[in-house]
Structure 1
Amino acid sequence: MPLVEIIKEKCDLSYSCVRVCPVNAIEVKVNKDYARIIPERCIGCGSCTSVCPQDAIRFLDSKEQTKILLKEKGKKVAVVAPSISGEFHDITDYRKFVQMFKQLGFDHVNEVSFGADIISLKYAELFNNFKGKYYISTACPVIVSYVQKFQPELIDNLVPLVSPMIATAKIVRKLYGNDTKVIYIGPCIENKNEATDYSGEGRIDAVLTFIELRELFNEFNIHESTLEFSEFDAPIGYKGSLFPISNGIIQASNISEDLLTGTVITAEGKSNMINATRQFYEEIKTIKKHFNLYYCEGCLMGPGTSRGGQKFIRRTRVTNYANKRLKNFDLKTWEKEIEKYWDLDYSRTFKSDDQRIETPSEEKIQEVLKAIGKENGNPDLGCNACGYNSCRDFAIAVSKGLAKTEMCLTFTLRNRHEYIKSLRSTNEKLAQTQKALQDSEQVARKEKEAAQEASDIINNMLHKLNAGIVIIDKNLKIIQSNTSFIDILGEEAKAINEVIPQLVGADLKTLVPFNIYNLFNNVFSTNENILNRDIYIDERFLNLSIFVIRKDKIVGAVIRDMYSPEVRKEEVIKRVNDVIDKNLEMVQKIGFLLGEGASETEQMLNSIVELYKTFKKEE
């Protein structure tokens, strides 16, 4: 696990972490619904861990690693940062506090304040032996990380000394042996990264924050009320106890901070740290001071401390504890201890790890600025709601894929206003459409009712017609038929009609003679109508017309029973008139035309004779 990470399942993209990150080490990708910390760019300041409303950011937990170390053979030493007096105000006596460490399994408990004494004296030696070069302090690991990654041109100006944590580790191993397991307890999470840079005498086997230490005490049910007193192991610190306060390391070595004659400027906090390093680089020839820098407000308010702490209350607790310890302090013994450990190697080197973003082309920057509506005005200014110092910096981040345009507050608000306006317009159109639809439905309902009424009328008329009516689909299945058609088909069809009203769906082939069935087939095949075809079937004289209703899909037929009285009289008159009209034309034709006309006349007259014969019998 990296030093700090975002739990993507809990992230709701509030951008709180983006806004507080001093180096823009948090990216928000397009089409991603969570933010991600870029480990390479992170300086371990921990600012993001305390601002997330969803508690979605966590740092590397070292409790399990510590518990494993405490079970191993050999000596285990806790080296405790002096800011612990500002954190554990609920422990009434520091001697009980020492015993609580030993209950966890530590063999020795040493103060980092002695390591701070050594380093502060080394600072004094360096600053007092001025050779024209100004330095930036390296007691704060966040400052070191920031310079290495974002102002590597200042690496040579970093004080070439280890932090009090590493100095104490070297002292402890000198005292107890190189195999000693050293666990550091402090307020800073970047110490976890710092520890990975060291091996040998300066190595730190695990780093616990104060938060993690409290969790271990609770896990093992360790409380001061059940314990006896125990003292910190020697060597005991002197003014190094003031190290948690930003200028404590300076006062511990009596380096002058006099406004007129002093050689050091102390600055703390995110904005001061960034401005200080920038101005150190740009204006050191004017400033001509060493810089003592801390990212947090000293080490009192580190991300590894309990939330809700108050800086000046903690500061008071630290100074009260230091005063209490110094009342009966054995200065001579301390001086001997300083001399004893003075010659250990406390030097260190630094290497560049440049993480600055390469500036994209001006064309790409302007493209992003235009997209977010910031093409006009001064892009070097901004509201900082996105977490970047200016609109231009934000555009660069978007161009590099570290941010997305939705992070711009004004862009998002403008889009929201436009969306609301569009939504309002859409709602109005929807209301109009809805009314039109209702009107259309009302018209359609009336038309449907009218159509239904017309259909009912047509069906009633259809069933009252003397002629048989049938409508057939392309599969020669009956779609609709009337009563006259069923009567023409006979008793068998009437029986089927009792089960299947109007013979709907019945197969025509099973109901009509084969020759009539073939006529229907022929109409479907040719799409040509057959009109007034006379057919004799079982002493019945039928007149059949088949016509296309929908090409290749539906045909209809009208079948008349020529022996039916209603049909017969009408048909006699019609056919006599046809004969008269036909023969008037034939009079004008001579030759074979006469023979043709006579033959046709004979056929028509024969049919008339048949009709009248039937009529006479019935009368």
Structure 2
Amino acid sequence: MSNSKFARKGCRECYACVRVCPADAIVIKGGQADILADRCIFCGRCSKACPQHYRVEKMSISAVKEFIKSGENVIASVAPSFASAFGNQSLKIPAVLRTLGFTHVEDSGITTKPIFDIYNTYADKDDNKNYITSMCPTIDHLIQKHYPELTESIIPVVPPFISHGRFLKHKYGADSKVVFIGPCVAKKTDATKEICVDEVLTFYELQKWIKSENLNLDDFPIEPFDYVCNDKILFPIPGETADFLEKKNPKKTVFCVDGIEDCKSVLNSIRNGKFENTFFEMNACSHGCLYGSDLDKDDRCFFEVKRDLINNKQKYIDLFQANAVDNPYQDIALDVLLYKEYPPKPFHLEQPTEYEIREILKTMGKTVRSDELNCGSCGYHTCREKAVAVFNGLAEPSMCLPYMRNRAESLSNLICESSPNLIGLVDKDLMILELNPAAESFFKIQKDEANGMPLGMYLDDEEFERVRTFRKNVRNEKITFKEYDDSTLLQTIYWLEQNQMFLWLAVDITKDEKAAKKLQTLKIETVEMAQQVIAKQMTVAQEIASLLGETTAETKVTLTKLKNFILDEEGDE
């Protein structure tokens, strides 16, 4: 299994690429998207759908500039659908390309006649088999990888851009550099396997290159390609090939099919034996190459683009009729090999058992058939198809958006329901949307009783108005409710601009406040008691000191008397 990295940094788990991929070639691992190259048909839908604008294929502008810078012989092979990208300015493109440095500029459509001759041979076969054109690389990959049993129906001839590349290499030499410029990314992949096309630019890349060089198409003259061909077949328009073949009165029924969905539907019918002796012109893009996979769509509808292509083609021939030739490569056509094989390249998914499917479905919260919504939000048509992808490592259970949403809602509800904090949602008109059980218990109301009621019945709504007006959220604001047993809350108010509602969070700190007040009272009482004790101690000390003073004086008098008495007696003796 070969994965081609598509998106890592910035991938948002939106699964847009999975939903649009017609080949189930997107792998989701760790929430990130990769491309399974073994299943990819290079239709470019994932790049267009990606909101981060990731591209599957690399840009080739730098490589082509290096060719030109090196002084090599660089030839531009331009797809005839270029009018779909450049509109009324299309006839300026040859001059622009020469200014950019290309030594030769040719319309790749001038080599389609040999291919159409081969198609006509197969359309005229009376062998009861079905045949499919090989002009569209995406269709070739689709059949090879997803309908491998039908590869024998692909006509074994190269697409026009490869045939033109081979003619150019034959004419200008193998060392010359051939750059194909066209509308789709699939040709980039096919060109890497061919030695006749060195690089592929899409019209989108050419437009970016022209813009980066500050070139204005209005400043350029109308110039012809190196060859002006009388061939008026406009094969980029779906149905043109079929019309050409029908004019030859072939033995097979000829149908034109465009758009991957219709092509897959027809291929399924061919697989089931619903067609025989039929020739199919198939184009992966709706409206064919005029709406190629890497075209930057403007405001023109398909019929405007078709008109511009027809008008430009006719105007081009009218302007340069004197230089026109029927087939510029007629002399070397027989020397160029146009044969190409399209071998089957199947990639089979492992099929889980019914038990394994049920076990995978359980991981997505689907325990009974009614849980299988088949909503397609994950990119798979059914939940069981998604389970098969999970079994093969292509998808993850978390891609089920309804399941993840329900799970997230359940977790959110569980948190809100069990939280001891007060939580509420209030709309922009200051009407209560919802209160959690803790809030309902605080306001002494029944379940859902407050829903739809004015906020002012329970809280000061002026504070909410200020939050919305000044876009300044309130955090940890202390409020007291006399009517609710002198309760105190610490409230936070958020204005949710995207949702146009308020989120109200509050913590009941009544017990803490009462405990704090009680502690403060106790502190004051303790201080007062200490003061009283100190006062009493001072009084006692003073009384003791007074008593000690009196007794000391009396003692002194008594001892003095005793001393004098003794001295008097000794004197007498």
Equivalent residue for 1:51, pick from 26, 37, 49 = 49
Larger of the two Rg values belongs to structure? 1
Contact between 2:3 and 2:36, CA under 8 Å: does it hold in 1?
Answer: no
Alignment deviations for residues 39-98 of structure 1 (CA, whole Å, 9 cap, x no partner): 443321111222333434464100000111122344221111110122211416x2x321
How many Å separate the matches in 2 of 1:413 and 1:383?
13
1:365 matched to 2:357? The reply is yes
d(CA) in 2 for partners of 1:289, 1:378: 43
The answer as to 2:307 corresponding to 1:316 is: yes
1:164 corresponds in structure 2 to: 160
Tell me what 1:80 maps to.
78
Match of 1:154 in 2: 150
2:200 aligned counterpart, secondary structure: strand
Matched, 1:403 2:401: no
Q: Which residue does 1:571 correspond to in 2?
A: none
Contact 2:64 / 2:179 at 8 angstroms: preserved in 1? Answer: yes
- Name 1:29's counterpart in structure 2: 29
Is residue 2:284 matched to residue 1:295? Answer: yes
Q: TM-score, normalised by structure 1?
A: 0.67
Deviation track 1:159-213 (CA, whole Å, cap 9, x = no partner) reads 21111011011112222222221110000111000001112xxx20110000111
Aligned to 2:563: none
Structure 1 gaps, min length 5: 467-482, 488-562, 569-612
- 2:98/2:104 contact within 8 Å kept: yes
Q: Gapped runs of 5+ residues in structure 2?
A: 424-435, 443-487, 490-506, 559-573
Q: Number of matched residues?
A: 472
Give a deviation string over 1:209-239, Cα, whole Å, max 9, x none. Answer: 0011122223334444444443222373614
Q: 2:272 is paired with a residue of what secondary structure?
A: helix
- Aligned partner of 1:207 in structure 2 is 200
Show the counterpart of 1:507. none
Match of 2:14 in 1: 14
CA-CA distance at 1:454 after TM superposition: 4.3
User: What amino acid does structure 1 have at the position aligned with 2:379?
Assistant: G
Q: Does 1:143 align with 2:139?
A: yes
Aligned residue runs from structure 1 range 484-563, under 5 A: none
- Structure 1 distance, partners of 2:321, 2:279, is 31
> Is 2:106 aligned against 1:110?
yes
Query: Contact conserved, 1:256 with 1:263, CA < 8 A, in 2?
Result: no
- Against the structure 1 CA distance between its residues 329 and 351, is the aligned structure 2 distance closer, same or farther, given a 3 Å change threshold? same
Alpha-carbon distance between aligned partners in 2 of 1:484 and 1:403, rounded to the nearest angstrom: 90
Task: Give yes or no for the alignment of 1:390 onto 2:382.
Answer: yes
Equivalent residues of 1:103, 1:222 under 8 A apart? no
In 2, distance between residues paired with 1:245 and 1:43? Answer: 21
Tell me which amino acid in the other structure corresponds to 2:25: A
Rounded to whole Å, the distance in 2 between the matches of 1:118 and 1:223 is 37
**What's the counterpart of residue 64 of structure 2?**
66
Farther-moved stretch of structure 1 (347-356 vs 77-86): 347-356
CA contact (8 A) 2:231 2:326 kept: yes
Match of residue 406, structure 2, among 411, 414, 423: 414
Query: 1:169-568, aligned counterparts within 5 Å?
Result: 169-199=165-195, 203-234=196-227, 236=229, 238-240=231-233, 242-254=234-246, 262-284=252-274, 286-297=275-286, 298-308=288-298, 309-324=300-315, 333-334=325-326, 337-338=329-330, 340-377=332-369, 382-425=374-417, 426=419, 427=423, 428-431=436-439, 437-460=508-531, 462-463=533-534
Kept after mapping to 2: 8 A contact 1:16/1:52: yes
CA distance in 2, matches of 1:39, 1:383: 27
TM-score, normalised to structure 2's length?
0.72
Task: Give the AA of the match of 1:442.
Answer: E
How far residue 462 of structure 1 moved from its aligned partner, in angstroms, is 4.8
Q: Which amino acid aligns with 2:205?
A: E
| Structure 1 residue 394 displacement after superposition | 1.4
Per the alignment, residue 517 of structure 1 pairs with none
Q: What's the secondary structure of 1:138's corresponding residue?
A: coil
Deviates further, 411-420 or 340-349: 411-420
Partner Cα separation in structure 1 for residue 110 and residue 230 of structure 2: 4
Is the 1:5–1:59 Cα contact (8 Å) retained in structure 2?
Answer: no
One-letter amino acid of the counterpart of residue 110, structure 1: E
Q: For 1:218, what is the secondary structure of its paired residue?
A: helix
Relative to structure 1, the CA distance from residue 484 to residue 395 in structure 2 (aligned partners, 3 Å threshold; closer, same or farther) is: farther
Identical pairs, percent: 26
Q: Aligned partners of 1:378 and 1:312: how far apart in 2? A: 45
Per-residue CA deviation, residues 288-347 of structure 1 (Å, 9 max, x unaligned), is: 423321110211111221223532221222233344456797999526844641452111
